[in-house]
Structure 1
Amino acid sequence: MDLVELLILAAPILLKGTGYTLIFAFAAMFGGLLVGFVLAVARIVPSRWCSAPAALYVSMMRGTPLLVQVFIIYYGLPSIGISFEPLTAGVLALSLNAGAYISESLRGAILGISRGQWSAGYSLGLNYGQNLYYVVIPQAMRLAVPSMSNTLISLIKDTSLVSVITVTELLLATKDVIATTFQPLPLYLAAAFIYWMLSLGLEHIQRRLERHFSRMVAT
């Protein structure tokens, strides 16, 4: 079997795996942003009851391997009566992990906003929550977009880890084709090329978001 025939044979399976990879990545991006925003706000509010648990969570998630977290959620939690389907478990693990990193990007960006901006909001009669939402967050997002985008782009590659819980994303789909064709090198290279293209697409979105938030702050 020549290379062209191999790629034609593998294309439908690889495309299906790519679809699952995108589902995982975008679902985890959305979940990670929600988790990250909540954690970032919890860490900057003037209350140890909020900031301390959030800081502990971030430390634990950043200090343990994502693969271990996937195993805990999918294989460990059923022992206490909590079980998830593979797809749900994978998205949950990726979201909780990404949220910890995104929260640090957001927190650093929020703390990087000058106190003068806070004072200007208070002088307009805004309370803490309104000041955070209308004045600080829009400016902080512009600062946080590059580092958050790097985290989100890495999710595309991290989705390969969910293959260990039998979800047929791109990597596991590639392995399935290799098992029948015995052509590992061209197929792994094809998978790597697809991951690269997906990452380039997200980098393009990142640049557009940076320009969007720059215009938002300018106005």
Structure 2
Amino acid sequence: MTDLFLRALPLLQQAIVMTLGLGLGAFVLGSIVGMLVALMRNSRLRALRIIAFAYVSIFRGTPLLVQILLIYFGLPYYGIALSPIPAALLALTLFSASYLSEIFRSGINSVDPGQWEAAESMSMGYWTCLRRIILPQAFRIALPPMGSRLIALVKDTSLASTITVMELTRVAEQVGAATFRYMEMFLMVGAIYWFINQLLTILQTWLEGRLTRHMR
């Protein structure tokens, strides 16, 4: 297996960068979109709540693979052609945002409603209260499921191989086809995924400790 690893190493190095880029990029963009959707779900305007609910329902209720294929192969029918990497990033972002929005919404709703009332009694505006009081507490509550979502998202990047993105799974397929050593290549790539996700788990645990230290 060592000789196969050395042979595939240049491709694996590029694939790791691509996998991390897609995963972390989709997580950051998905967090932004997800927070907006979460705020829409909690809005007093019924139209915004309906739009946000429909978005979450569609993207959580359909397979990510179908979404990737629709964006990559379906959008050109309407004159919107995306190359493989932007198409994969867009699909992963929209998919992750639907889950993150529910994580953020549950975190926001877990904060004691009395804190909203206290902020209003001090003439603090909605956005100021949200930024300075509610979101810091909601983030601490939402951190564990956010970490789990990031780990799942890194694994979900493997589906980008279906539209020829050269991430880890695609490299394993190509090297396996060239050498007929599929078992070794996929075991190797599985170990790389595991190692990446272990690092993310350690980072999540460290952040949780930092943010909840004063609560112990």
Query: TM-score, normalising length from structure 1?
Result: 0.94
1:138 Cα deviation (Å)?
0.6
- Counterpart pick for 1:106 among 104, 107, 117: 104
User: How many Å separate the matches in 1 of 2:11 and 2:79?
Assistant: 34
Q: Deviations over 1:37-73 (max 9, x none)?
A: 1101111111112111001100110000000000111
- Counterpart pick for 1:149 among 147, 150, 156: 147
User: How many Å separate the matches in 2 of 1:127 and 1:96?
Assistant: 30
3-state SS, counterpart of residue 125 of structure 1:
coil
User: How many Å separate the matches in 1 of 2:89 and 2:49?
Assistant: 25
- Counterpart pick for 2:65 among 51, 67, 81: 67
Counterpart in the other structure of 2:183: 185
- Counterpart pick for 2:172 among 155, 160, 174: 174
Counterpart in the other structure of 1:9: 7
Counterpart in the other structure of 1:163: 161
1:123 Cα deviation (Å)?
2.3
Please state if 1:211 is matched with 2:206. no
Please state if 1:40 is matched with 2:38. yes
Larger CA deviation: 98-107 vs 180-189: 180-189
User: How many Å separate the matches in 1 of 2:97 and 2:26?
Assistant: 9
1:214 Cα deviation (Å)?
2.5
User: How many Å separate the matches in 2 of 1:95 and 1:126?
Assistant: 33
1:133 Cα deviation (Å)?
1.4
Checking the alignment, whether the CA contact within 8 Å between 1:138 and 1:213 is kept in structure 2 is no
Q: Kindly provide the amino acid, as one letter, of the partner of residue 131 in structure 1.
A: C
Larger CA deviation: 38-47 vs 112-121: 112-121
User: How many Å separate the matches in 2 of 1:213 and 1:39?
Assistant: 25
Runs of 4+ residues over 2 Å off in structure 1: 211-215
Q: Kindly provide the amino acid, as one letter, of the partner of residue 47 in structure 1.
A: L
User: How many Å separate the matches in 1 of 2:33 and 2:82?
Assistant: 19
Q: Deviations over 1:154-184 (max 9, x none)?
A: 1110000000111110000111111111111
Checking the alignment, whether the CA contact within 8 Å between 1:178 and 1:184 is kept in structure 2 is yes
What runs of 5+ residues in structure 2 fail to find an aligned partner?
A: none
Checking the alignment, whether the CA contact within 8 Å between 1:29 and 1:95 is kept in structure 2 is yes
1:121 Cα deviation (Å)?
1.5
Q: Deviations over 1:77-126 (max 9, x none)?
A: 11011111110000000000000000000101111111111122222221
User: How many Å separate the matches in 2 of 1:34 and 1:131?
Assistant: 19
User: How many Å separate the matches in 2 of 1:189 and 1:119?
Assistant: 55
Aligned residues with identical type, % of pairs:
39
Query: TM-score, normalising length from structure 2?
Result: 0.96
Please state if 1:56 is matched with 2:54. yes
